A and B are shown apart, each in its own frame.
Chain A
Amino acid sequence: MEQTFTRLKNIRPSAEFQARSKMLILSSAQNQPRPFTLADLLPEMMQSSFAFGLSALMIFMMVGGISLFNRKFVSPAVLSALDANSLNNEIEKMDIQIQIAQVRYYENSAKKVEVALNETSGDALGDTDAQLRSLLNDSNL
């Protein structure tokens, strides 16, 4: 079989055809290459920019860009907590609330102290009054 294949290699075109065809071909003009245009460059640019874009995306994903992306676009509440203005407002509100709470505390505690003092002093005063009354009564007598 191999021999048959090798012998098939002996098939050749006729010398007459070869000469005639060659002459005809070489007597015709070549196509001039088209001038370089943007259309020629565009596919290569697209290809390279796609490669760069893909690489950038991969790096972005690798350094945790996705989580930042999620915070920014998926969880706005979380992101608003990172906003400086809103944080300042929140801190100011907290101060006011703390002051009000302190005032309330002092008020409540003052009242409680007053009541306690009254209670404690009430008994003492009551005794003194009674003593005074008894003394007055004794003196009147």
Chain B
Amino acid sequence: MLEAEKQHIKEAKKGSKEAFGALYDHYLPQIYRFVLFKVSRKDEAEDICHEVFLSAWKNMPSYKDKGFPFSSWLYQIARNAVIDFYRTSKSSVQIELVDENSIQLVQSSQKELDTALEMEMVRKCLSKIRPDYQDLIIMRFIEEMENSEIASALKKSEGAIRLMQHRALKELKDIYQKENGTDIHEA
């Protein structure tokens, strides 16, 4: 954890809006991506993200630094928020409903359009694997988090994370082959 971040956390615990604002700006994009991959709708992802950071802000005074990254605490709140979301809304994930504006890429060329389609395919495949595997793939390969950080966010050991990672990739590969008819490595 960076020294500046530690200082922000310390001040945010005391009620500093500026300090929490800095943490918010830093962590919102990755929490937003994580939630968006789980719910697939931009408006729902925004609502959940708002709830996550609101909960984090309200509970900052009771936050205890246990040596884990601050992000793992936010991910834990986000995971619970997503679970609550599905428990209350009972809605099913339909990748077709994903708002195209959620991917803010300039699709000005054929190559970029292909990339967007490819990403859409990955998202579709991700939505079909187990929720904990989804979390793992998003954290490890999209957010490029360390195994130790993922382990604390998912409340598992690093060994279990490595094993899950292997299985998650295999499952993703199988689904990708079924969906696409080609090997994932060829894509």
Contact = CB atoms under 8 A, between A and B. Distances in A.
A31 B59 contact: yes
B115 interface: yes
Given A5-B141, A8-B33, A33 B57 contact: no
A30 B17 CA distance: 10
A24 B46 CA distance: 13
B36 A11 contact: yes
Nearest to B17: A26
Contacts of B33: 8-9, 11-12
B20 A31 contact: no
Contacts of A22: 21, 24-25, 53
Given A25-B54, A33-B61, A5 B122 contact: yes
A33 B61 CA distance: 6
Contact of A28 (B57, B118, B123): B57
Contacts of B122: 1, 4-5, 8
A2 interface: yes
A10 B53 CA distance: 21
Interface residues of B, number: 39
B178 to A, nearest CB: 16
A33 B62 contact: yes
Summarize B's interface: helix, strand, loop or mixed.
helix
B49 A30 contact: no
A28 B58 contact: yes
Interface in A59-114: none
Contacts of A10: 103-105
Contacts of B105: 7, 10
A112 B58 CA distance: 109
Contacts of B119: 4, 7-8
Contacts of B32: 11-13
Nearest to B102: A11
A5 B184 CA distance: 12
A13 B142 contact: no
A11 B184 CA distance: 22
A18 B28 CA distance: 8
A49 B36 CA distance: 46
Nearest to A20: B50
Nearest to B121: A4
A43 to B, nearest CB: 14
B60 A17 contact: no
Contact of A31 (B49, B62, B143): B62
Given A7-B115, A9-B142, A31-B61, 16 more contacts: A4-B115, A4-B118, A4-B122, A5-B142, A8-B33, A8-B122, A9-B143, A12-B29, A13-B28, A13-B46, A18-B28, A21-B28, A24-B50, A30-B58, A30-B60, A31-B58
Interface of B: 15, 17, 20-21, 24-25, 28-29, 32-33, 36, 45-46, 49-50, 53-54, 57-62, 102-105, 115, 118-119, 122-123, 141-144, 184-185, 187
